[in-house]
Amino acid sequence: MTGKNMEMTGAEMVLQAMRDNGVEHIFGYPGGAVLPIYDELHQQDTIEHILVRHEQGAGHMAEGYARSTGKPGVVLVTSGPGATNVVTALQDALMDSIPMVCITGQVPTSLIGTDAFQECDTVGITRPCTKHNWLVKDVNDLARIIHEAFRIATSGRPGPVVVDVPKDVQFATGIYTPKPDVSVKSSYQPKLSGDLDQIRAAVELMAGARRPIIYSGGGVINSGPEASQLLRELVELTGAPITSTLMGLGAYPASGKNWLGMLGMHGAYEANMAMHDCDVMLCIGARFDDRITGRLDAFSPNSKKIHIDIDASSINKIVRVDVPIIGDVGHVLEDMVRLWRASKAPDRKQIADWWSQIGRWRGRNSFAYAANADVIMPQYAIQRLYELTKDRDTYITTEVGQHQMWAAQFYGFEQPNRWMTSGGLGTMGYGFPAAIGVQVAHRDSLVIDIAGDASIQMCIQEMSCAVQHELPVKIFILNNQYMGMVRQWQQLLHGNRLSHSYTESMPDFVKLAEAYGGVGIRCDKPRDLDDAIRTMIDTPQPVIFDCRVASLANCFPMIPSGKAHNDMLLPDEATDEAVASAIDAKGRALV
Amino acid sequence: MNAQHQPTGSAYFIAKETQRPETHTLSVLVANEPGTLARVIGLFSGRGYNIDSLTVSETEHEAHLSRITIVTTATPHVLEQIKAQLERIVPVHRVVDLTVRSHELGHDKPIERELALVKVTGTGDNRVEALRLADAFRAQVIDANTEHFIFEITGRVSKIEQFIAIMKPLGLVEICRTGIAAMNRGPQGM
């Protein structure tokens, strides 16, 4: 650009800066304080705008888009309620480290602080739920700040950022700052490479291990596909068993021979037992969340722990580790693989006993459930969905609850970026808009939101968005008429008093789909399920699939409240009595 | 297995705290831009950390850098977290735990000073006594008429506390304290 056309309005700058940062899609909703930007959007066609029905939907769409592509998701909303509605999605992205850039309109600078119409303190409200945020008061700062916003959102530990742009700044004319080649913010310089001495110490520990385990998380996915490749290489080289958090599924293929399944509260028995009994734990891009560790003072008591994380504050936050490595997973794994190859590989016999022990744990078949010929078991529904979609180009999102855990247990992920779920915040209503975001980025892929009947109603309005933009997302509802996970906890903790966890008035999901202009399918017989799923896959419109499942099924195995990894409640032990007495009064108070 | 027969805690397991809390002084060098102080304070309130004292002012005008001095009380584990969390804030340049650093340098603790303005009203003996004590504490009179003094006193927190306690019966009406300014001994910078 020449000096002359570097001069433009703030609204033009927003779009120019987005183009300069590679933005192709925006999820947004117009309103008074962003009208100048919407006017600019109208006069160009390089950036596609997806009109949502609620700003929370825009946020989750951006998250799904980001998680499935590795690119930042971009949101554009108005001031006041536009900004407050997106807060849930911002916090969700913060907790799951999803890169998101959210542009909010603001009342004109002269009106800030006067309780103007649709005014709120957006930077104040979003300060704790963003990685960083800005209020732009001078149009000449706008482009620089947007470039910086993209860099901060996508580098280091990714996260959401907010740029609040008052309406007069959008109208004002100023000089556009081109995207800088290097960072200008000297206080923010994330460290990518890990300390080599520490990495060497980690390799030595792993080489000497008799009972090693690799515990990987969402950081591997965030680091990019190369990191997942390197993780697979490391598993192959070391021969160690690998488990993963909910957020890390797909980094190592579910069909891989060293795969133990997901760990944690509803994780596989073999994964949790191996975590408990291991002598060396290699934690890669995970953060020892409380759903993972269970009872902390009994968490993997006899192991040396190595922790790779790009965020120094994650190290020693919950669990004390012996070898901390601060750096990007991809960079650190590259060094680890290189050092492992250069050193003398230990004898595989060293871990043979460990593998036979793991074999015995696997034999417990902890995901077992009682099949039923008349009623669709939720686990069976996921298994069939997996079998019928696994050979396609499929992306899966979920809402939050039992269906989410069953999806994690029974759907096998072979690749990273194929699984979008709300892990940290646990946001009901995440899955459907996230699926729309995925579909925007992958128009020809099969995108399925595995949902619960309660969660799906939290952002159902986005059906209208999916129909408008011809995004053929499939919503696969495991409909048991309950908030299943709430009910499960009420059974465990509150004497089976099912306070407000039953939905007495359920919409007719088939008619609902049709009302929005989509297609509805209902299935309540196991024998009809495969055909119904095939019909769903072959339908070129958005589909709501109302899969009527056993209403009282619970999600097992489970580490009950207050228990350790080696103290799981297994499905065959989960009698009514065991469920009722699994957590005593002290555990109840602490939940 | 046999979950029902095992002792319990919680999935939100609250481990018994075995470390004793310590009081540390942190120096935080930040970019002087809108909202930075709010980020720092919000971090402390949001994550449940204590602030015993907080002082902030721009120290390098050209570079737009401010220095925040925070006195906080926490266990060593939490102190480590506070430092790491502060370093995560985008406009934070550097965080130094002055207390830890002073130990590394072979000192007992960092140098800490506070300034207070103390207004005392009174007549007769009380007035004479207040002036005499202020002199003993090396407090300066910075404003006065026949009914009052404003003293300026600088020193360790304990000295200021003591001065205020002594002034109380002599007609103390108002106190303003700056909070702690701190740095370590020796030629090394922060």
Q: How many CB pairs under 8 A join A and B?
A: 112
The Cα–Cα gap between A57 and A28 comes to 9
**H/E stretch holding A359:** helix A352-362
Q: How far apart are CA A87 and CA A99, in angstroms?
A: 15
Residue A11, domain member (yes or no) = yes
Of chain A, the end-to-end C-alpha distance in Å amounts to 59
Q: For residue B81, give how far its alpha carbon lies from the nearest alpha carbon of chain A (Å).
A: 6
- Evaluate whether the domain defined by B111-183 bears CATH number 3.10.20.740: no
Residues of chain B found within 8 Å of residue A570, distances taken between Cβ atoms: 1
Give me the half-sphere count of Cα atoms (radius 13 Å) on the Cβ side of residue A456.
32
Could you say which of A1, A48, A117, A514 is catalytic? A117
The pLDDT > 90 percentage for chain A reads 89
pLDDT tens for residues A183-224?
Answer: 667 789 999 999 999 999 999 999 999 999 999 999 999 999
Rounded CA-CA distance A565/A568 in Å is: 6
- Is beta strand B92-97 parallel, antiparallel or unpaired with respect to A543-548? unpaired
Question: Tens place of pLDDT for every residue, chain B, 190 residues?
Answer: 334 433 343 456 667 778 899 999 999 999 999 999 999 999 999 999 999 999 999 999 999 999 999 999 999 999 999 999 999 999 999 999 999 999 999 999 999 999 999 999 999 999 999 999 999 999 999 999 999 999 999 999 999 999 999 999 999 999 999 999 999 999 999 8
Task: Enumerate residues 6+ apart whose C-beta is below 8 A from A174.
Answer: A7, A8, A9, A10, A13, A138, A139, A140, A142
What is the rounded distance in angstroms from the CA atom of residue B9 to the CA atom of residue B7? 7
- For residue B88, give the nearest of A185, A293, A313 by CB distance: A313
Nearest CA in chain A to B17: A297
- Residue A152, C-beta contacts closer than 8 angstroms, at least 6 positions apart: A131, A132, A159, A161, A185, A188, B90
Longest dimension (CA), chain B: 82
- Closest to A206 (Cα-Cα) out of A140, A284, A112, A98: A284
pLDDT digits (tens, 9 = 90+) for A448-474: 999 999 999 999 999 999 999 999 999
Using CA atoms, how far apart are residues A572 and B159, in angstroms rounded to an integer? 69
Give A359→chain B minimum CA distance, Å: 17
Say if residue A541 is exposed, middle or buried (CB neighbours under 10 Å; 0-12, 13-18, 19+).
middle
Are A562 and B85 a contacting pair at CB < 8 A?
no
**Contact criterion met (CB < 8 Å) for A296 and B1:** no
Phi-psi region of A554 (alpha: psi -120 to 50; beta: other; left: phi over 0): beta
Q: Residues of A with CB below 8 A from B87's CB?
A: 312-313
For residue A179, with 0-12 CB atoms within 10 Å meaning exposed, 13-18 middle and 19 or more buried, which class applies?
A: middle
Assess whether the previous peptide bond of A557 is cis (omega < 30° from 0): yes
Angstrom CA distances, A518 to A443, A467, A522, A546, stand at 17, 7, 13, 13
Mapping DSSP to helix (H, G, I), strand (E, B) and coil, where does residue A113 land?
Answer: coil
CA atoms within 13 A on the CB side of A447: 29
CB contact under 8 A, B3 and A560: yes
Whether residues A40 and A8 share a domain: the answer is: yes
* Run of H or E residues at A75: strand A73-77
B90 interfaces chain A, CB cutoff of 8 Å: yes
CB contacts of A566 in chain B (<8 Å) are 1
Distances in Å between the Cα of A135 and the Cα atoms of A116, A139, A200 are 17, 11, 44
Residues in chain A with CB shorter than 8 Å from the CB of B62 are none
Catalytic entry in A167, A304, A474, A563 = A167
Task: Give the residue from chain B lying closest to A123, CA to CA.
Answer: B35
Specify if A577 maps to a domain.
Answer: no
Known catalytic membership, residue A509: no
CATH code (residue A231): 3.40.50.1220
User: Chain A within 8 Å of B84 (Cβ-Cβ)?
Assistant: yes
Q: What is the pLDDT of residue B14?
A: 67
Q: Say whether B13 and A135 touch across the interface (CB within 8 A).
A: no
Distance to chain A for B115, nearest Cα, Å:
30
A294 vs B contacts (CB less than 8 Å):
11, 13
A554 lies in some domain: no
CA Rg value for chain B: 22
Q: How far apart are CA A132 and CA A123, in angstroms?
A: 9
Structure tokens at A528: 């009809």
| A 430-489: CB under 8 A from B | none
Choose the closest CB to A152 out of B4, B6, B90: B90
Query: Does residue B9 sit at the A interface (CB-CB below 8 Å)?
Result: yes
CATH class assigned to B22-104: alpha beta
Q: Which residues of A touch B35 (CB under 8 A)?
A: 123, 127, 133, 135
* Same domain as A414, residue A387: yes
Q: Are residues A319 and A397 in the same domain?
A: no
Q: Which of B13, B30, B92 is closest, CB to CB, to A562?
A: B13
> Is A290 within 8 Å of B81 when comparing Cβ atoms?
no
3-state secondary structure labels for all residues of A445-511 = CEEEEEEECCHHHHCHHHHHHHHHCCCCCEEEEEECCECHHHHHHHHHHCCCCCCCCECCCCCCHHH
Mean pLDDT of A37-42: 98
Task: Answer whether A315 sits within 8 Å of B84, measured CB to CB.
Answer: yes
Interface check for B186 against chain A (CB to CB < 8 A): the answer is no
A13, A18, A27, A55: the active-site residue: A55
In tens, the pLDDT along A234-272 reads 999 999 999 999 999 999 999 999 999 999 999 999 999
Instruction: Give the start-to-end residue ranges of the domains of chain B.
Output: 22-104, 111-183
Cα separation of A285 and A330, whole Å?
10
Query: Using one digit for the tens of pLDDT, what is the confidence trace for A124-175?
Result: 999 999 999 999 999 999 999 999 999 999 999 999 999 999 999 999 999 9
Contact B9 A562 (CB under 8 A): yes
pLDDT at A345: 87
Q: How far is residue B53 from each of residues A20, A213, A215, A222, B68, measured CA to CA in Å? A: 45, 45, 41, 39, 10
Q: Does A130 touch chain B (CB under 8 A)?
A: no
- Picking from B4, B84, B87, the nearest residue to A578 by CB comes out as B4
* A494 within a domain of the structure (yes/no): yes
DSSP states along A217-243 = -HHHHHT-HHHHHHHHHHHHHH---EE
Longest dimension (CA), chain A: 78
Residue A18 domain-assigned (yes or no): yes
**Is A189 part of the contact surface with chain B (CB cutoff 8 Å)?**
no
Q: What is the pLDDT of residues A514-546, one digit of tens each?
A: 999 999 999 999 999 999 999 999 999 999 999
Residue with tokens 């945020």: A133
CA triple A584-A588-B1, angle to 5 deg:
45
Minimal-distance CA residue of chain A relative to B18: A297
The stretch A424-449 carries a mean pLDDT of 98
- Residues A146 and A226 reside in one and the same domain: no
pLDDT of residue B10: 47
**Chain A residues with beta carbon closer than 8 angstroms to that of B39:** 127
The reply to whether A157 and A209 lie within a common domain is no
Same domain, A222 and A275: yes
Give the span between the Cα atoms of A104 and A123, in whole angstroms.
10
Judged against a pLDDT cut of 70, whether residue A506 lies above it is answered with yes
Q: Is A118 a catalytic residue?
A: yes
Give phi and psi for B123, each to the nearest 5. -135, 170
Question: Residue A54, SS3?
Answer: coil
Q: How far is B92 from chain A (nearest CA, A)?
A: 6
A257, A316: one domain = yes
How far, in Å, CA of A305 to CA of A214, rounded? 10
Tell if the CB–CB gap between A568 and B1 is shorter than 8 Å: yes
Same fold? B22-104, B111-183: yes
Q: How far is CA B42 from CA A566, B33, B86, B92, in A?
A: 38, 16, 11, 14
Q: What is the distance between the alpha carbons of residues A131 and A96, in angstroms, rounded to a whole number?
A: 12
Final residue in a domain of this structure, among A362, A395, A426: A362
Query: Which residue in B4, B37, B67 has the most chain A C-beta atoms within 10 A of its own C-beta, making it the best mutation to test that interface?
Result: B4
**B4 touching A, CB under 8 A?**
yes
> What confidence score (pLDDT) does residue B7 get?
37
DSSP bridge pairs for B153: B116
Question: What long-range pairs does A422-426 form, CB within 8 A, spacing at least 24?
Answer: A422/A92, A422/A96, A422/A398, A423/A95, A423/A96, A423/A218, A423/A245, A423/A246, A423/A247, A423/A289, A424/A92, A424/A94, A424/A95, A424/A96, A424/A247, A424/A289, A425/A88, A425/A91, A425/A92, A425/A95, A425/A96, A426/A400
Q: Of chain A residues 567-586, which have a CB less than 8 A from chain B?
A: 567-570, 573, 577-578, 581-584, 586
Residue B16: its pLDDT value, please?
74
Instruction: Count Cβ atoms below 10 Å from residue A239 Cβ, excluding itself.
Output: 17
Domain housing A478:
378-548
Same domain for A153 and A254, yes or no, is no
CA-CA distances (angstroms) from residue A17 to A49, A109, A578? 16, 22, 59
What count of other Cβ atoms lies within 10 Å of the Cβ of residue A590?
Answer: 15
Among residues A382, A384, A362, A365, the alpha carbon closest in space to that of A257 is found at A362
* Residue A387 DSSP one-character state: H
| A248 in the same domain as A141 | no
Structure tokens at B168: 């109380």
- The answer to whether B91 contacts chain A (CB < 8 Å) is yes
A250 in any annotated domain? yes
Backbone angles phi, psi at A212, to 5 degrees: -80, 155
Which tokens go with A573?
Answer: 């032990």
Residue A24 is a catalytic residue: no
> Does A427 fall in a domain?
yes
Please choose, from the candidates A469, A488, A313, A300, the residue with its C-alpha nearest in 3D space to the C-alpha of residue A405: A488
Which residue do the tokens 């805690």 mark? B9
User: What was the pLDDT predicted at A186?
Assistant: 78
Instruction: Give the residue-averaged pLDDT of A396-404.
Output: 98
Let me know if residue A306 belongs to a domain: yes
Please choose, from the candidates A453, A401, A392, A396, the residue with its C-alpha nearest in 3D space to the C-alpha of residue A427: A401
Q: Do A385 and A458 share a domain, yes or no?
A: yes
Best CA proximity match to A424, nearest among A10, A93, A176, A172:
A93
Instruction: Sort strands A48-51 and A25-28 into parallel, antiparallel or unpaired.
Output: parallel
Query: How many structural domains does chain A have?
Result: 3
pLDDT score of A307: 98
Residues A393 and A533 in one domain: yes
pLDDT digits over B71-109, tens only? 999 999 999 999 999 999 999 999 999 999 999 999 999
- Cα separation, B169 vs B130, whole angstroms: 10
3-state secondary structure of A406: helix
Residue B11 confidence (pLDDT): 52
Same domain, yes or no, for A400 and A500? Answer: yes
For β-strands B111-121 and B172-177, DSSP reports them as antiparallel
Q: Are A384 and A531 in contact (CB under 8 A)?
A: no
pLDDT tens by residue, A370-395: 999 999 999 999 999 999 999 999 99
